[in-house]
Structure 1
Amino acid sequence: MGMFSAMAFNAVGAIVLLGVLALTYRLLLHPLSDYPGPLVAKLTDGYGGYHASRKRLHLATYHDHLKYGPVFRQAPNRLIFNTAAALHDIYLNPEINKAHIYKQTQFNPEKNIFGTLDRERHKQKRKVYGQILSDRSLRTFEPTMRNEIDVFLRQLLKAHAEPVNMTPLCERLATDIAGQLAFGQPLNTQTDATNRIFPRSMISMNAVVSFFMAWPAISLTWPLLSRLNKKNGLMFGRALRGIVQARMALPKGAKHDFYSIAAEDVGEGEEGLRRSEIWAEAVFFLPAGGTTISAALSAIFFYLSRHPTVYARLAREIRTTFSSGSAIQGGPQMSGCKYLRAVIDETMRVAPPFVGTFWREPYSSHTKPFVVDGHVIPRGVLVGVNPYCLMHNEAYFPEPFAFRPERWLGPADGTSESPEAERARSAMRGAFAPFASGDTGCLGKAMAYYETSLVVAKTLWYFDFEKAPGEAGRLGEGEPGRKDGRHRTDEYQLFDLAVADHDGPNLVFKPRAGYWKELEVD
C-alpha cells in the first residue's frame, strides 16, 4: 500500500511538473511570447472558450484590441489582427487555408463545405454552390422567394397592430426560403409549428461549433453532449432526412434547387457531389442560408425603428421607385435603390451576421515566410481578423457605433468629393468584411443582398412600423451601466455563436391604407 501511494504521489508530481513546464514555455519561450494579450489567453485556449460559452467572444475581442492594439495573442497559438492590411494578407493569399480547427465543426462522417479543408475539393464544392447562388439562378428562384416573403407579410398583417418579435418571424422566413432553395421543399415554419425545430436547432448547433472552435480540446466531450441532447438531435435528424428523401423521390430536375445541381453520381476527385455527401451539405445549407440572413433582417428592422430620419428616407425611396408591391423585384429598379443598399451595408457593418473569427493557417507544404501586416507568422500559429472588431475600428469608420448609412454614399447634392473623402471611403470599403474574403469566403453574399432587399422593400411598401411602446420596445437593446460591452442602448445586441444569435426587436406594424389589400388571399 505504501509503495502504491508513493507511485501515485510521484505520478501526480510528474504531471504537475510537466504542466508547469508547459505553461512556462507558453509564457516565456513560445515564439509568440513577445506579443501582448491577456495572461490567461497566453496559457490556454480556455480564455476564448470561456467567452464563447458566454456568447460574447466578439465583445471580449473588441475590448482586447482597444487594450492591446491591432494585433494580440488570443490563445497560445493564435494571433488576431484588426487591420485592413491583415484582412488582405490573410484571406487573399492563395497559399493560406482554413485552419485545422474547422474539423471541430463536423459531426457527420461526410464533411460539408464549411469543414472541407482540402483546397481542391473545397474549390469543386464552391463551383456547385456557385451555380445555385449565382445572380442568374437567384432570378429564376425569385418567384418562390417572393411567395415566402408574402407569407411573412401576411403574418405581420395578422398581428393587428400588436407588438411582434422580429427574431422568430425573420428566422422562420429565412429558414423557409433556405429550405426551398436547398431542396425545393416547403418547410412552412411560418404558418405551421411542425418544422420549427429547424431554426432553433440550428442555433443550438452553432453554439457547439463556436465553443469547439474556440477551445478545440473540449470537442472530446461531444459524445457526452450528443447523448444529453439525443432527443432533439434525433428529431432534427428525422425531420431533415424526411426533407432530403422527399426531394430524392422526385426527378432531379423537378425543382430549381441546390439538389438539382448537386446530386450527381460522380467518382472520387470529380466535380459535383456524391449522393453520400448530400446529407452533410443539407446540414450546412439550411443554417447558412437561414440563420445569417435572419440576423441581418432583424438588425435592419431594429435600426430602422430607432432612426426616424433613415426610416423616412428609405421609405420615400421605395415608395417612389416602385408603382406597386408586385413590381418590387430584382432588376434595374431595385439596383437603383442606392439608399436601400447603404442601409443594408451599414447594418451588416454594425451588426455582422457572422461575428466569429475566420481562422486561417498556411498549407503544410507552405515554405515561404508568411507575413501578415508586417508580422512574420511562426509555423503552427493560427491567424484571423474578427469582422465585428474590424468594422468597428474607428481608423476606418469614424464614430463606429453610430448608424449612418450616408457614410456609404457620395455627397447628396451630386458634387464631387474631395480627394481626402474619396480615400477615406476607399479605406472603409477595404475594411468592410461581413462575408470574409477570398477563395474560402462566404458564397451567400448575392443571396443575402437579394433576400434582404426584397424583404425590406416589400415591408416598407405595405406597412409603416415603429418600436413597441414601453418595456417591450427595449428588446434587442443594450443596458446602461453594464461592464461587458452590452451597455449601448442604441446597439443591436448580438450573441456570438460564430453566426450571430439575437432576440428582438419588438415592433408594431400598421398597414398602409389600401395597399395591404394586395396581400389578402382566398
Structure 2
Amino acid sequence: MVLPVILDKFKSVILGYPLHLVAACLVIRLLLNKYRPGLTSIPGPRLAAFTDLWRVVDVAKGQTRLTAIALHKKHGSVVRTGPRHVSISDPALIPVIYDTKYKFLKTGFYPLQSITWFKKPAMNLFSSRDPEFHRSEKWRAAPSYTVPNLLPFEPRIDSCVELLMSRLDGFASNHTPVNLGNWLYYYAFDAVSEISVSKKFGFLEQGQDIDNIYSDAKAMMMYFSTIGQIPLMHKLLLGNPVINYLMKPMETWNPQVVFTLKAVEVFYAGQGYAPRNKDMLDFWGYIPSIAPEKMNMRELVVNLSTNLFAGVDTTSIALKAMIYFLCKNPSAMTRLVNDIDTADREGRLSPTISYKEASALPYLTAVMKESIRLHAPVGMLLERHVPAGGLIIGPHHIPAGTIVGINPWVTNRDSTIFPDPESFKPERWLDSSTEHLAKMETLFQFNFGAGSFKCMGRNISWIEIHKVIPQLLRDFRIELMDPRKDWEVSAGWFVFQEGVLCNLTKRKEVEKIQRDRGL
C-alpha cells in the first residue's frame, strides 16, 4: 500500500513541477562534478570545477594559453580546469604523462580532427586514440620523416624558396608593403605539397588564399578546439548523422582533400598506384617501407592530407614568429644578418641556401628555438587520460579516467629554466651550460609533443625553416610597417598570427646607398 502511494506522489511531482525536477537534477550534476573524488583539493577557477562550459568559453575567447599561464602563476603546478580536467606545469612529469608505452592515452578531443572518407571518419596518426593503429602506422611512416630520407626532396623546397624570393622581389622593387605572414604561409603550404604529392598547390604562383583554405582552416580549427572541450557536442553539430547525411562527402568539397586525391590520380597510374617514372617519386613512393603499392587509395589520401593539414600551420606560425621577433629586436636581427653575411662572404652559402649550410649557423638555430619558445604553435593542453592506478602529484592522488595534460605555453615560461621568460633572448641557447641546455632542449622539444605521439613531421618543418629564413635575410632588409604595433593573435589549438605587415628593401640597394653615403 505504501509503495503505490509514494509512486503516485512522485508521478504528481514530475507532472506538476517538471522544471523543478530538471533544476534539481542539474544542481545534483553540478555538485557531483564539483566534489569529484580526488579532485576537490586541487585549486583552480571556482566555476571550472562545476562545468566544462567554463573551458568552452575560455577557448572561444581565444585566450586559453594566457589563461593557463595566469592560472599556474596563481595556483601552482597543479590546477583544476574542469570537472575532470587537470592542468600540470611540472616539466618532470612530461616523460610520465607522455610516455612511450601508451599508458596515458589520448582523449576524445583528438578524433574530431580527422577527415572523412565516404562520410566515415578516417583516423590518422594525430587523431587516432587506438595504440595498435598508431603503433602500426607509425612503424610504416616513421622512416620517411628522418632527415636523411627527407633531404633528397630538398630541391623541391628549393623551387619554393626561389619562387617566394622572386615574388617578394616584386614588392621590394615597387616599394610596396607586403603581408609577409601570408607569403610565409603560402611558402609552407607549397613546400609541403611539393614533398608530399610532387606538385605545388599554387599559393606562391597565385599569391592568394586559394579557395579560402587558410581562413577555412582557421575556422575549422576554432570549431574543433572549442567543441573538443565537450566532444559529445560534436555529435549534435557537424558530427550529427542527419547533417552528415545532408552534406556532400568531404572528398568532393574540401580543397586539401580534393587536391590530394587529384594528385594521387595524376602521379600514380593504374592499379597499385605505381609511380609512372622514377623522377616523379614523391614522399610516399620514395620510401620502400611505405611504398604506394602497399597502400590503398584511402590510406594514401589520409596520409598525404595529414601532411598538408598538420605541417603547414605549425611551420608558418614558427616562420611568422621568427620574422616578428627579429623585427621587434633589432640587435638580434643585426647579429643574425651579420652571421649570414659572414658565411656568404666566406663562400659557405650557395645561391639557394641548403639545409646543411643553414644548420652551420648557430645563431639562426638559436633564433628559431627562442621564437618557438615565445610563440609555440600549439596553445592548449595536450590532453591524456590517467590510466588505472591513478597519478600521484605531491599531495594529490588524481584518479584514473581524469584528463590531465601540460600546455607548452606554460612550460616555455618556466622561469627556473628560462630566466626572464617573456624576453626574446636567442643567446640563452648559446651561452647556457651543457646541463641547463639539456633542460631547455627538453621543453623546446615538447612544442612538438612527446612520447609515443610526438609529431613525426617536425623534421620537414625544421628543414623548411632553416632554408627560407637566411635566404630572406640575405636578399632583403625586412622592417615592420609599424614597429610600435603588436600583431593580432587568434588562438585555439593552433595560435595563429595576423599583422606581420612589412616593408622590404633589396639588400643590394641598401648596401649601394650606404656606400654612396660613405657609411
TM bin (shorter chain): 0.7 to 0.9
- Give 1:455 deviation, angstroms: 0.8
- Give 1:84 deviation, angstroms: 0.8
Mapped pair 1:37 → 2:44? yes
Is the CA contact (8 Å cut-off) linking 1:89 and 1:372 kept in structure 2? no
Residues 408 and 499 of structure 1: is their aligned pair in 2 closer, same or farther, counting only changes over 3 Å? same
| Counterpart residue number, 1:83 | 90
| Counterpart residue number, 2:261 | 244
For 2:47 and 2:16, locate their aligned partners in 1 and report how far apart those are by CA, in whole Å: 28
Is the CA contact (8 Å cut-off) linking 2:41 and 2:396 kept in structure 1? no
For 1:5 and 1:237, locate their aligned partners in 2 and report how far apart those are by CA, in whole Å: 53
| Counterpart residue number, 1:100 | 108
Residues 199 and 422 of structure 1: is their aligned pair in 2 closer, same or farther, counting only changes over 3 Å? same
| Counterpart residue number, 1:414 | none
* Partner deviation per Cα, 1:288-334 (whole Å, 9 max, x = no partner): 11111000001111011111111111111112223355251022x32
| Counterpart residue number, 1:350 | 374
Q: Which runs of 4+ in 1 moved over 6 A?
A: 3-6, 224-227, 229-235
Mapped pair 1:452 → 2:465? yes
Where do 5+ consecutive residues of structure 1 fail to align? 267-272, 412-420, 478-491, 517-522
Residues 446 and 20 of structure 1: is their aligned pair in 2 closer, same or farther, counting only changes over 3 Å? same
- Give 1:23 deviation, angstroms: 1.1
Is the CA contact (8 Å cut-off) linking 2:340 and 2:474 kept in structure 1? yes
- Give 1:474 deviation, angstroms: 4.8
Residues 341 and 407 of structure 1: is their aligned pair in 2 closer, same or farther, counting only changes over 3 Å? same
- Give 1:200 deviation, angstroms: 2.4
For 2:53 and 2:115, locate their aligned partners in 1 and report how far apart those are by CA, in whole Å: 22
| Counterpart residue number, 2:314 | 292
Correspondence list, 1:326-365, <5 A? 326=351, 328-331=353-356, 333-362=357-386
Correspondence list, 1:157-172, <5 A? 157-159=169-171, 160-172=174-186
Correspondence list, 1:194-343, <5 A? 195-223=210-238, 236-237=253-254, 240-251=257-268, 252-253=274-275, 254=277, 255-260=280-285, 262=290, 264=292, 273-322=295-344, 323=347, 324-326=349-351, 328-331=353-356, 333-343=357-367
For 2:154 and 2:15, locate their aligned partners in 1 and report how far apart those are by CA, in whole Å: 68
Name the TM-score, length of structure 1 as normaliser.
0.84
For 1:166 and 1:232, locate their aligned partners in 2 and report how far apart those are by CA, in whole Å: 35
For 2:251 and 2:261, locate their aligned partners in 1 and report how far apart those are by CA, in whole Å: 15
- Give 1:408 deviation, angstroms: 0.6
Report the 3-state secondary structure (helix = DSSP H, G, I; strand = E; otherwise coil) of the residue aligned with 2:203.
coil
| Counterpart residue number, 1:123 | 135
- Give 1:167 deviation, angstroms: 2.0
| Counterpart residue number, 1:20 | 27
Mapped pair 1:443 → 2:456? yes
Mapped pair 1:398 → 2:419? yes
Report the 3-state secondary structure (helix = DSSP H, G, I; strand = E; otherwise coil) of the residue aligned with 2:80.
strand
For 2:77 and 2:361, locate their aligned partners in 1 and report how far apart those are by CA, in whole Å: 36
For 1:431 and 1:238, locate their aligned partners in 2 and report how far apart those are by CA, in whole Å: 35
Is the CA contact (8 Å cut-off) linking 1:26 and 1:33 kept in structure 2? no
What is the percent sequence identity of the aligned residues? 21
- Give 1:510 deviation, angstroms: 0.7
Residue of structure 1 aligned with 2:61, choices 54, 62, 66: 54
* Partner deviation per Cα, 1:10-37 (whole Å, 9 max, x = no partner): 4333322221111112223432111101
For 2:53 and 2:468, locate their aligned partners in 1 and report how far apart those are by CA, in whole Å: 40
| Counterpart residue number, 2:508 | 513
Is the CA contact (8 Å cut-off) linking 1:315 and 1:461 kept in structure 2? yes
Mapped pair 1:173 → 2:187? yes
Is the CA contact (8 Å cut-off) linking 2:359 and 2:466 kept in structure 1? no
For 2:255 and 2:178, locate their aligned partners in 1 and report how far apart those are by CA, in whole Å: 31
- Give 1:448 deviation, angstroms: 1.8
For 1:377 and 1:57, locate their aligned partners in 2 and report how far apart those are by CA, in whole Å: 23
Name the TM-score, length of structure 2 as normaliser.
0.84
Report the 3-state secondary structure (helix = DSSP H, G, I; strand = E; otherwise coil) of the residue aligned with 1:502.
strand
For 2:69 and 2:254, locate their aligned partners in 1 and report how far apart those are by CA, in whole Å: 37
| Counterpart residue number, 1:67 | 74
For 1:429 and 1:493, locate their aligned partners in 2 and report how far apart those are by CA, in whole Å: 28
For 1:437 and 1:373, locate their aligned partners in 2 and report how far apart those are by CA, in whole Å: 23
For 2:395 and 2:175, locate their aligned partners in 1 and report how far apart those are by CA, in whole Å: 56
Residues 498 and 283 of structure 1: is their aligned pair in 2 closer, same or farther, counting only changes over 3 Å? same
Moved more, 142-151 or 175-184: 175-184
Report the 3-state secondary structure (helix = DSSP H, G, I; strand = E; otherwise coil) of the residue aligned with 1:409.
helix
* Alignment RMSD: 2.9
Based on CA coordinates, which of the two structures has the bigger radius of gyration? 2
